[in-house]
Amino acid sequence: MLGYLEDIKTILNDITGADFPWLDMDAPLDQVPGLSVDDYTLMLIRLEEKYNIEIDVDELESLHDFGDLCLLIVSKTA
């Protein structure tokens, strides 16, 4: 699952130009300093494209941290 987290960090870096070395599985999705709603939306779109998955709104509402997001990606790519 760490590979998925590294992909998320890379995508966020591409979007914002910032590094996120502190970002880990326990980091809350809604508390990343400097990320806007548009940044999150673009991150999710890029994850969907990269892994050829679809993440719907109901699934997003159940996610609390980046670990949950990684688990969702794992479940959809398995």
Predicted confidence (pLDDT) at residue 45 exceeds the cutoff of 90: yes
For residue 24, is pLDDT > 90?
Answer: yes
**Is the predicted pLDDT of residue 9 greater than 90, yes or no?**
yes
Average pLDDT on 23-49 reads 92
- CA dist 12 and 18 (Å) reads 7
| d(C-alpha 21, C-alpha 10), whole Å | 10
Report the mean per-residue pLDDT for the chain. 93
Per-residue pLDDT at 77 exceeds 90: yes
| Domains, the chain | 2-77 (1.10.1200.10)
